[in-house]
Every structure is written in structure tokens, then in C-alpha cells.
Amino acid sequence: MSSLQAMFDNARAEGRPAFLPYFPIGYPTYDESLDAIHAMAQAGVDGFEIGIPFSDPLADGPTIQAATQQSLENGTTVRACLQAVRDLRERGVTQPMMMMSYINPLLAYGADRFAVDASAAGANGLIVPDLPPEEAGLFAEACQHAGLDLIFFLAPTSSPERIRLVADRATGFIYVVSLTGVTGARSQLPTDLTEFIGRVRQIAEQPLVLGFGISQPDHVRQIAPLVDGYIVGSALVRARTVDQIRHLARSLRAAV
């Protein structure tokens, strides 16, 4: 059983979706980003999306754009993010960690080399927002050989053919985007989520993890009956201090 499958099984046994917060390495500093992730681990989150900073984060809104830009200015590299996973494992973080990166830094590092190094560091999978499944052969092979899950995205605009393609290629889970737009905390979630998730469920067998716009416990309670997991990023990045991040993560985890 993979670590992700065990994570979903454990959450399902407790009658709730799994909570996977996103946080970028190097923001506001390297040490503070590790402190934030470690604090969330102690607060009982189920897994993590570990952000690798990139200069052109096309899927991200202003909060994460600003945070990853500061991380880059701090000198954060792909190698530093891999070291962060090692450091977090050494600090006792046992939850699955999915590394999130845009494709250019990974190509510069080398797909095969990155997959091997990420697995050796203690990562469990890879999320690449700008990697379509049609062009993912190189990374799919590298991840399979290294024992990493490779996550693909679906949006409310995805056609049945697109859903079938992603369902055929994704491992671990499918990242379902709640809206057509970029990441960022919203006051309300879209009203058509039930229909969208239902369309995906008719085709895909993988767990579905919802992201984009989730920022408060009420949102979690709304989406809990629909999905197997949820991702929160901008609201946690905006929280700034470790104590505030821990408190918000605990409230999001305890919402259901």
C-alpha cells in the first residue's frame, strides 16, 4: 500500500476528507518555512504539497506569487527544496509530501535525476500544474521508476475525453480545480462543484483532491461530502507567523 493510499484510507475511516496544505519552501525564510510545515504536521494534517518556487507561477494568484518571489530572492533552489524534505523527515514529519513545481525548474534539474533525488529525500509524489498528460511521458516514466506518484489536474471546463485521459494517466490522486482561475483565498466557493465532481466520479476511480479557493472551515464543511481530500495554500501563506499557521491548519483540519 502506498503512503497516499494509506492516507486516504485513514481519513476515510474517520469519515472525512484528507487535508493537504500547500506551503512554499524558502518563505519567508528557509528555516521559517520548515517551522511552518513542522507545526502543521504536529497539528495533525494528513499530507503536504511542498512548493518549489518559480519565477512564472502561472496557476498561482498574488499571495503565492509574492511568497515564491521572495523565496527566489532568498536564493531558494530545487536542490534546497529537496534538502527541505530531508530536513523535515529528520525532524519527524511522517506525512506524505507531494512536491509541487512548474516544469522548467524540473527540466533544468533533469527529470530522471529529480525523481530519483526526490524519492531519496523522502518525497512521495509530484504535482506539475503546467505539465499536460499528453506531454508527460518523460516524467511519468521517471516517477514510476522512482516510486513517485504523478498528479494531474482537472478543471470545471474539462471535457469527458479530458477526464478519461487524466484518469488513465494520474496516480495517487487527481487534483480537481474548483474554479477557472488562479489560486487564492475566496469568500465563497463555486455553486456548481457538485455537478463537476459528479462528472469526474463517473469516469475516474482515483481519489479526488479539491484545491483553489478553499480558505476557511466553512468551505471544508461544504466540500467534505464531495471529495477525498482538499488543499489550502494562500490562506496559510497569508497567515505569516508559525503560530497563526498552526492555528489555521488546526481549524481547517478539525472542520469535519
The full DSSP string for the chain is --HHHHHHHHHHHTTS-EE--EEETTSS-HHHHHHHHHHHHHTT---EEEEPP-S--TT--HHHHHHHHHHHHTT--HHHHHHHHHHHHHTT--S-EEEE--HHHHHHH-HHHHHHHHHHHT--EEE-TT--GGG-HHHHHHHHHHT-EEEEEE-TT--HHHHHHHHHH--S-EEEESSSS-----SS--TTHHHHHHHHHTT--S-EEEESS--SHHHHHHHTTT-SEE---HHHHHH-SHHHHHHHHHHHHTT-
Per the annotation, the verdict on 60 as an active-site residue is yes
Among 46, 56, 60, 135, the active-site one is 60
Active site residue 31: no
CB 48 within 8 A of CB 37: yes
Residues 6+ apart with CB under 8 A from 252: 19, 21, 216, 217, 220, 232
Residues 103, 128: contact at Cβ < 8 Å?
yes
| Catalytic residue (one of 49, 87, 117, 228) | 49
Residue 6 grid cell = 494509506
Active site residues: 49, 60
